[in-house]
Each structure stands twice: as structure tokens, then as C-alpha cells.
């Protein structure tokens, strides 16, 4: 005979696992942005501007994104801007903040390496979504370990979460 304590354990374990997993009804996928003119963001510090204390502002200009949303047309969805957690030459995520201003349907915002920030919510209407971000980096040079003259570079991407 099994003790009542052991019989309850599987149910408790399932509840615990369910609490830590993403909802089963939401499907997350990386959006294909290979049709974008320039996905890689590079800054060589030639346009750097000093800012309060130890921060440097690096305006990166307009970055165009062309996102393939065809598989999601007609579905309710949320789109997230994902900043990679590892940026070559950056010692800590606290050393860099990415700021963007959306020039279309996507929301403006900011984040640090490793962040996933919602930029859009609605029903996907077309097989392609085009957006332009005006990007600016705020960098603490004390958190950089890069060879002299090298560029700070990373490639953010977009994820879509489709809803029922």
C-alpha cells in the first residue's frame, strides 16, 4: 500500500512544473528577418558623444527590418525585440543600454543585453511587417574590453508569440 503522502507527490510535482512553464497555448518563434537590408548593428565610436559622467551615447541611425510574418497571418500575436545576452567586448549587461524609436507600428523602448521587450500586439494582417528603428546605444566605457579601434557589434532579433 502506498502512503497518502507519496500519492499526492505526483500531483504536486505537476502543479509545480506547470507553474514554471510558459502557457501551452502560446507558441513562440523567431521571426525570419533575412530580407532586412542590415541586421548587424556596428558602431566604431567615431560618432560617440559624452554624457553625464561615465556614459557615452552612440547614435546608430535608422535600421530597417523586414519580418516574414506569413505563417501567422490572421492570428493574434505579440512581437518582441530581443537583444542578445552576449555582446563581444562587453563585460556586463549593465554596461550597455539599447534605445529605439519605432517609425511605424512598433513601440519605442529600451533594453539591455538579454532583454526581450514587447514592441507590438495585435492581429497579423500581412505576410511581411516592415519597421524602421532609430537606434541609440548608451555605453559605459568602463564595462568594455575591446581592442583599440574595434567596433561594438551585435545582432538583435524579433520573436513572435501567437495567441489563441
pLDDT, residue 8, reads 42
Cα separation, 149 vs 66, whole angstroms: 31
pLDDT < 50 positions in the chain = 1-22
The residue written with cell numbers 553625464 in the block is 52
What cell was used for 70?
A: 506569413
Q: Are 79 and 120 in contact (CB under 8 A)?
A: yes
User: What global pTM score does this model have?
Assistant: 0.78
Per-residue pLDDT, 24: 55
The per-residue pLDDT for 81 is: 97
Torsion of CA 147, 116, 71, 135, to 10 degrees: -50
pLDDT at 154: 85
Average pLDDT, the chain: 82
Edge-to-edge strand order for the sheet containing 96-102? 49-50, 56-68, 128-139, 96-102, 109-111
Amino acid at each position: 500500500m502506498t502512503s497518502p503522502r507519496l500519492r499526492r507527490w505526483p500531483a504536486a510535482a505537476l502543479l509545480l512544473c506547470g507553474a514554471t512553464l510558459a502557457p501551452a497555448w502560446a507558441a513562440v518563434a523567431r521571426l525570419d528577418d533575412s530580407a532586412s537590408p542590415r541586421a548587424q548593428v556596428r558602431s566604431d565610436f567615431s560618432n560617440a558623444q559624452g554624457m553625464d559622467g561615465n556614459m557615452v551615447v552612440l547614435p546608430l541611425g535608422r535600421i530597417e527590418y523586414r519580418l516574414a510574418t506569413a505563417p501567422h497571418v490572421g492570428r493574434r500575436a505579440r512581437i518582441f525585440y530581443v537583444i542578445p545576452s552576449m555582446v563581444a567586448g562587453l563585460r556586463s549587461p549593465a554596461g550597455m543600454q539599447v534605445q529605439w524609436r519605432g517609425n511605424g507600428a512598433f513601440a519605442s523602448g529600451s533594453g539591455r543585453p538579454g532583454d526581450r521587450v514587447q514592441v507590438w500586439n495585435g492581429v497579423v494582417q500581412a505576410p511581411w511587417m516592415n519597421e524602421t528603428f532609430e537606434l541609440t546605444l548608451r555605453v559605459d566605457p568602463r564595462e568594455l574590453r575591446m581592442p583599440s579601434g574595434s567596433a561594438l557589434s551585435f545582432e538583435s532579433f524579433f520573436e513572435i508569440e501567437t495567441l489563441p
